[in-house]
Structures are given as structure tokens and as C-alpha cells.
Structure 1
Amino acid sequence: MKALLSALASALLFCAASAHAVAPSCDDQAAEKKLAGAAKTSFLKKCNADTAPAGDAACDAKAAEKKLAGAAKTSFLKKCNADAAGGSAADASCDAKAAEKKLAGAAKTSFVKKCVADAGK
């Protein structure tokens, strides 16, 4: 019985170690393929997009709360993740002001764009 348990434990450790094998980074893959210039840029863009996490958990939760699906969900997640990654304090402040004014759609976009530009001056 002890031998069986030892064998199972060893098998589990082996499986866990092999599951955590590190995949080569996108830069390493580009170097292996000897890519340069536009080909390298294009490859890295696609590779990084393919290996990026499916999405920010907060953005996924917001999309679920809004009951979005299909193209609407994809568009929402893209904007939400971009805002989360590159959002600044000015963006957040301007978004809050737009929310206070209950702006939506093109009016909100225009307001936030002008607000951020004015904050940068």
C-alpha cells in the first residue's frame, strides 16, 4: 500500500512539474524565426494578443452585469481593458463628471475627450 501511495505521489509531482513548463516568450519565438522589421512587429502583436489573459476580471464582471454577449461584449471588453490599462487620473475624473451629467454615447465621448485635453494643458 505504501508503495502504491509513493508511486501516486511521484506521478502527481511529475505531472505538476510538466504542467508548469515555461513556454517561450513572444520575443524568443520571433528570435528563433529570425524575424525583423514589419514581420517581427506583426508577429509580436499577434503573439502578445494570443497569449494575453482573456480579460480583466473586473471588466468581465461588468459585462456579465450588463448581460452583454457577442460583438457587444467583445467591444465592451476591449474598451474596458484598454481604459484599465492606460487610464489616467484625468480619464477617471472626466468619466466621473460625464456620469454625473448622465452623458452617454457620442456626447459622453466628446465630453471626456475635451475634458482630458483640458486637464493636460
Structure 2
Amino acid sequence: MTFPDLNVLEFRFAAIQLNRLSWRDFLTQPNPVAAALMSKMNIPKLERPQVKAECLRLLATLKLDPARMQLISGFVDTYLRLDADNFCYLLVAIYSNGIFVEPTFFRIADFSSFIFIWEMR
């Protein structure tokens, strides 16, 4: 929006295509947005449980308040859906990577929603 002698509003942005980015590049980012957006990146079907486990691991280490944890884990659950087989692999990945034993994990993981997701399948 401009006037002859004044530029009131100017937008500058860069388009980012998440499906062209590799989720592995964001594993070490201590950023909740990176954890959430990993679920929208280029993920082979066999790696989906590992990505979801890594997102949970990142959330467990970020020390966010419960509302933000729930928001981000809900985003990941929405955009990174797993079938029944991959859901089992997710549980194995969570347990084998030590995510399950972190106290913060219990605040992130709403086990009733895990059961609900399992029943939906």
C-alpha cells in the first residue's frame, strides 16, 4: 500500500516448501517450531515413527509449559498420522531411545489420546 510520497505497508517474504526439506536437518534445533514443522517435511513412510519419536524427544527437552507442549504435540499428531504398524514402531522407538523414561514425556504424552488414536485405527 503506497501513496505518492509515502510507502505505508510493504511485505517481504520467502516461500519455504517444507516437503522439500529433510527432517534430519532440524534434529538438533532447540526450537519448538522446528519440532512441529518436522512433521510436514519430506519423510519416507518407513521413517515416520522415528520422526514422531524425535519430535517427542525434542519436546521433552525444550522445557515448555504444558499448554505449548499440547499444542505442538497436537500439530504433530495431526500432520504425522501413523497406521497401526507404524504406531507399534513408534512405541518401540520411544522406549528404545530413552524418551519414555524422561519425566517430561509423561506431561507430553496423553496416554488416553494414544489409546483413542489406537482405537480409531
TM norm. shorter chain > 0.5: no
Query: Which structure has the highest helix share of the two?
Result: 1
Q: Which has the higher contact order (CA 8 A, sep 6+)?
A: 2
Name the larger-Rg structure: 1
